[in-house]
Amino acid sequence: MKAVPLRKCLDQHEIEALLRGFCSLGAQVVGICDADGTWLAAYPSAPDAPALLQQASSTRHEASDERGVAVPLVVEETLYGVLYGDLAAAPLLSALCDMLTILIQKALVQKALVGETLDRYREINLLYRAHETIGASLDLEEVIRRVLQESTRIAKASGGSVLLLDSLTNLLTPCDSVGFDVARAEQALMGRAFSDTVFQTGKPRILNNVHHLMRPGDVDEVQLVSLLGAPLRSSEDVLGVITLARTQAGAMFTASDEKLLTALASQAGIAIANAREVQARERGLKQQIEALRIEIDESKKQREVFAITESEYFAYLQENAQHMRAEFDL
């Protein structure tokens, strides 16, 4: 657990009132300082005991001298501060320490809940924006481009690629990339095994510390560090895979990144399916228009032939032809 200053966990006025109450039980001096030695509250004034406070903070055990006692405030193995009291307060410090520990734990739970709520709100905003952006187009190439832009932005990736299943070859085929060609780099490194696994299982996947799989010369211009993939799904069908990568040293993908990309990939899969349907309809409409044009041209030709054969001039030609055959006995 990451240590936070006590002043962000405890209300100073409430702690001052608590210290005054303990002093009324017989203690002369009681105080609480942060893990960095900054006094949060003390009654009647902050004592001068830096060596004792440092000892308790560094050893995380109770320390005492001829003037007082210092007790570290440790919650879930994290040091949050030190409680100090004079010798008269020593019998009370254990109870006071227990009370402060409970208050710190409650504050941390509330802080975690607030942080989780903010994270959810942030995720909803990100996904709503992505939905609006991706769903704004029915052009397949434009949809894929927007999917890559939004996914790399949300996941803070160095690059990404979209691979879709080719119905003729039944293989994943790269469609587009942003940042750098992750599909090509993956192919050079592991023969696209990562994306194939995501597609076949229909489940997202994280592969951190990719560099340990690399051999000299595998990928020259891009040194992959981490890969994150999610299936592009429409209804029950997996259409393809979106694969993201990070190249900065130590840059790892997390479960939160995987969750966000999975949600975005679900939206993207529907948008891609819709764009494909529109594309197929447009292709079918063009074929119908072409067939109709051919039919119209053929009908026009037949009308023109009919007009010629039914004309007086054509009848004149036929009559002359008959006379010529009769004359030459043809």
172-206 pLDDT per residue, tens = 888 888 888 888 888 877 778 899 999 999 999 99
Q: Which residue has the tokens 């000299």?
A: 216
φ, ψ dihedrals at 64, nearest 5°? -145, 160
Of the candidates 30, 29, 1, the residue with the CA atom closest to the CA atom of residue 99: 30
Q: Which two tokens stand for residue 156?
A: 């803070």
pLDDT tens string 247-270: 887 788 988 889 888 888 888 888
DSSP-based three-state secondary structure for 91? helix
User: Is the whole-model pTM more than 0.85?
Assistant: no
Of the candidates 79, 103, 83, the residue with the CA atom closest to the CA atom of residue 93: 83
Are 172 and 240 within 8 A, CB to CB? yes
**In the structure, what pLDDT confidence band is assigned to residue 1 with cuts at 50, 70 and 90?**
very low
Cis preceding-peptide flag for 50 (omega within 30 of 0): no
What is the pLDDT, as a whole number, of residue 232?
92
Q: In sequence order, which ranges of the chain are alpha helices (DSSP H)?
A: 12-23, 50-59, 90-134, 140-155, 182-190, 193-201, 255-309, 312-327
**In the structure, what pLDDT confidence band is assigned to residue 122 with cuts at 50, 70 and 90?**
low
